[in-house]
Amino acid sequence: MKVSYYPGCSLEGIALDYAASIAGVAPLVNVELMELEEWNCCGATAAHSISHALALDLPARNLDLAQRAGRDLVAPCALCYNRLKVAEKARGGLKDIKVWDLLEFMTQDSYLGALSKKMVQPLKDLKAVGYYGCLMARPPAVTNKKDYENPQNLENLLKVLGATPLDWSFKTDCCGAGLAVARPDIIDTLVQRLYERALAAGAECFVVSCQMCQANLDLTQERISKKFGNNFYLPVFYFTELMGLALGHPQVKDWLARHLVDPIPLLKKKGLI
């Protein structure tokens, strides 16, 4: 199936691993991602914080492009997705096309069904908590999600991949996202809490669908370990990386090599790599 694809700025930069794993697994589930030509930045937190006009008009231009392309629009970044949805609501809806977040799109029943038939290596015994963060789900008036307090997409996917998704109460709690650069101390407090709660649930790793969540959980782990005197080891996988691993994609190791918290020891212990 062909869809328009809006990667967003960070997938050209800090989230290169996410971008590569998406490009790697999409063809395995017969999704053809057609990058929206000449897309622009959605304005992110900066725009909605200090310029209401930019916060609506920057994403609106991308909606015009998608409307012209005539295909559903898929965004991997939670914030891009959210801003596109806000702009969609502001113009009273879109004609004939729909805006999806990548996780929601890839975990439709038909794809999960197809996925289960293509499994090469079930992720046996891998105990993971799904971490959705804020903006894929909230606010429901913008996202139209029904299970915004307790989404299940990651858990459903992990089950199909043969992993063990664990229940926990912090899957949509905030990691601090946009404050990471200006107020890193705030990130430390929020993310340390997530580490503790994930460990308490028995998790060995996080599975995420948002590159801001990934960055805040992965890049800070050493710093937070030192600050709180606790040697955290919790690799942070993109769901697409685990799909690649389970489907036997040859480049999984290259994607994982870009993480700061090295997931290889965990995967070796589980006999998955």
Sites of contact with another protein (CB under 8 A): 9-10, 12-17, 38, 40-41, 43-55, 57-58, 61, 134-135, 138-141, 148, 173-174, 176-179, 181-183, 186, 189-190, 219, 223, 257-258, 260
Count of Cβ atoms closer than 10 Å to residue 50 Cβ: 10
- The minimum distance between CB 106 and another protein, in angstroms, equals 23
Specify the residue, 1 or 50, whose C-beta has the smaller distance to another protein: 50
**CB 38 to another protein: min, Å:** 4
> Between residues 23 and 29, which has the closer beta carbon with respect to another protein?
23
Residue 35, classified by CB atoms within 10 Å of its CB into exposed (0-12), middle (13-18) or buried (19+), is exposed
How does DSSP assign 107-136, residue by residue? TSHHHHHHHHHS-SS--TT-EEEEE--STT
β-pairing verdict for 127-131 and 205-208: parallel
Q: Is 1 or 257 the residue whose CB approaches another protein more closely?
A: 257
Cβ nearer to another protein, comparing 23 with 112: 23
Look up tokens 């782990």; give the residue.
221
Instruction: Report in angstroms how near the CB of residue 16 gets to another protein at its nearest.
Output: 6
Say if CB 81 and CB 95 are below 8 A apart: no
- Give the residue with the Cβ less far from another protein, 6 or 105: 6
Minimum separation from the CB atom of position 52 to another protein (A): 6
**Dihedral sign for Cα atoms in the order 178, 39, 36, 73:** positive
Minimum distance, C-beta of residue 250 to another protein, in the bound complex (Å): 18
